[in-house]
Amino acid sequence: MRAIRRGARGAAVAEIRSILANLGLLTADQQSSPGGRRFEFDADTELAVRAFQQSRGLSVDGIVADETWRALDAARWKLGARPLFHAVPDPFVGDDVRQLQERLLEMGFNVGRTDGVFGARTSRALAQFQREQGLASDGVCGPATMDALRRLGRKVSSGGRPHMLREAELLRQAGPTLVGKRLVIDPGHGGPDQGVVVPVGPLRWSEADLVFDVATRLEGRLAAAGVQVHLTRGPAPAAQISDLERAELANELGADLFISLHVDGHKNPAADGVATYHYGSGGGVTSTVGERLAGLVLREIVTRTELRNCQSHAKTWELLRLTRMPAVRVELGYLTSPGDRHRLTSPLFREQVVEAIIAAVQRMYYPVEADIPTGSLDVSTLRATATA
């Protein structure tokens, strides 16, 4: 869809304002329509959109583009407002689905990721709950199932705990070696979307090219260590690849881990540093293994490159929410920062970043009691071991 921002007018703006008002982010006075105000994307609307994005763990820019619109559309629905079931090929998507998933997860039923999409796993978990309650196990969340959900208390003490334990157990069972692991590396942007672009004299540095270089270096080093590596794109795809398509590819490949590579940009050249992002929501539901991976990648890069530590953050971006494996997005520095740009455009620096990520991936599979200090793993030994 075309991005809708401050100054826009029309029926789409009225729909956005209506959803924001129903969510309590626009007051009755702000939503009133003297002179057609409800059709105008004004300053109040932009602030409300920013508040919504902040509450949902999205990028906060006050602009309604594809991902924000899908989140707004999902926010229309509250659990119990409509029957839910596994619809193919267009599944139900919404806050009501996410609320159902969180409720089932709290009671110990395995819905996987609480992604707000009513898929086969959610249907199976719901049917299991229905069987335990003596209901028809049809996987349909209708009035009788809603009554049962309202009557029952939690089986576990905190939301997300069963999924946390499953993720940790799968990691433990995978064993410490990298050989045979399947990793999807996602060089951000590509094709007509070059991301952050900075001209420097006769040269033109782009985010898409820099992260693809890091991705191919990472691919080679990990493959030498016995990892099955897949990239989400080539050097110059014919068309722009959406985050949804990247997540779907990783799911189809059955990846064990997903790493998305980006560099950042800002109008203030003083902005610099590295940050990582993992799936997590304001309600406390998170991918604990993804959070651990994000922390390891961040610390290894900071220790080995001395980039500023901009911390690790929880987000509900579709790229992180819809991947069924632990996923992390890495912002490798600011191309708009003279200092970071000097590093990013150095092949030696990019090789240091690669080694940092490999070290983090290997440490993911070490038992906690066998982990080693940050920056101490010699990744060349992984290559030697894999190729011996």
Instruction: Give pLDDT tens digits for 197-225.
Output: 999 888 899 999 999 999 999 999 999 99
Query: What is the domain extent for residue 36?
Result: 11-74
What's the pLDDT at 49?
96
Please give the Cα distance from 314 to 276 (Å, whole number): 9
How much is the pTM? 0.80
Burial bucket for residue 289 (CB in 10 Å: 0-12, 13-18, 19+): buried
Residues 325 and 363 in one domain: yes
Residues 379 and 230 in one domain: yes
What is the three-state SS of 111-179? CCCCCCECCHHHHHHHHHHHHHCCCCCCCCECHHHHHHHHHCCCCCCCCCHHHHHHHHHHHHHHCCCCC
What's the pLDDT at 240?
83
Assess if residue 331 is contained within a domain: yes
| Residue 41 belongs to domain with CATH number | 1.10.101
Model confidence at 28, in pLDDT bands (50, 70, 90)?
Answer: confident
Q: Side chain identity at 165, as an amino acid letter?
A: L
Residues 187 and 281 in one domain: yes
Range with the lowest mean pLDDT among 23-37, 187-201, 274-288?
Answer: 23-37
246 by DSSP, 3-state: which? helix
Residues 68 and 103 in one domain: no
> Over the stretch 346-365, which tens digit does the pLDDT of each residue have?
999 999 999 999 999 999 99
Range with the lowest mean pLDDT among 100-114, 243-257, 350-364?
Answer: 100-114
321 and 344 Cβ atoms separated by less than 8 Å: no
Is the per-residue pLDDT at 166 higher than 80?
A: no
Main-chain dihedrals φ then ψ at residue 293, nearest 5 degrees: -60, -45
380 by DSSP, 3-state: which? helix
Number of domains in the chain: 3
Assess if residue 86 is contained within a domain: no
Range with the lowest mean pLDDT among 39-48, 127-136, 167-176, 259-268?
Answer: 167-176
Q: In the chain, what percentage of residues exceed pLDDT 90?
A: 69
Assess if residue 224 is contained within a domain: yes
Residues 178 and 155 in one domain: no
Please name which of 144, 159, 151, 165 lies closest in space to residue 104, comparing C-alpha atoms: 159
Main-chain dihedrals φ then ψ at residue 9, nearest 5 degrees: -140, 155
Which residues lie below 8 Å from residue 175, measured CB to CB, with a gap of 6+?
365
Assess if residue 55 is contained within a domain: yes
Is the per-residue pLDDT at 271 higher than 60?
A: yes
What's the pLDDT at 167?
66
| Residue 145 belongs to domain with CATH number | 1.10.101.10
What's the pLDDT at 161?
53
Residues 101 and 55 in one domain: no
Report the 10 Å Cβ neighbour count for 360.
26
Give one word for 236, left, alpha or beta, with left for phi > 0 and alpha for psi -120 to 50: beta
Kind plus residue range of the DSSP H or E element containing 211: helix 207-224
| Residue 258 belongs to domain with CATH number | 3.40.630.40
> Over the stretch 318-350, which tens digit does the pLDDT of each residue have?
999 999 899 999 999 999 999 999 999 999 999
What's the pLDDT at 368?
78
Please give the Cα distance from 321 to 329 (Å, whole number): 12
Burial bucket for residue 236 (CB in 10 Å: 0-12, 13-18, 19+): exposed
Range with the lowest mean pLDDT among 112-121, 147-156, 183-192?
Answer: 147-156
Main-chain dihedrals φ then ψ at residue 173, nearest 5 degrees: -70, -25
249 and 301 Cβ atoms separated by less than 8 Å: no
Residues 150 and 180 in one domain: no
Residues 149 and 268 in one domain: no
Assess if residue 103 is contained within a domain: yes
Model confidence at 159, in pLDDT bands (50, 70, 90)?
Answer: very low
Is the per-residue pLDDT at 384 higher than 90?
A: no
Q: Side chain identity at 283, as an amino acid letter?
A: G
Is the per-residue pLDDT at 174 higher than 80?
A: no
Residues 184 and 142 in one domain: no
Which residues lie below 8 Å from residue 338, measured CB to CB, with a gap of 6+?
269
Is the per-residue pLDDT at 257 higher than 90?
A: yes
What's the pLDDT at 369?
81
Assess if residue 117 is contained within a domain: yes
Assess if residue 167 is contained within a domain: no
Is the per-residue pLDDT at 29 higher than 90?
A: no
Assess if residue 381 is contained within a domain: yes
Residues 38 and 100 in one domain: no
Residues 29 and 112 in one domain: no
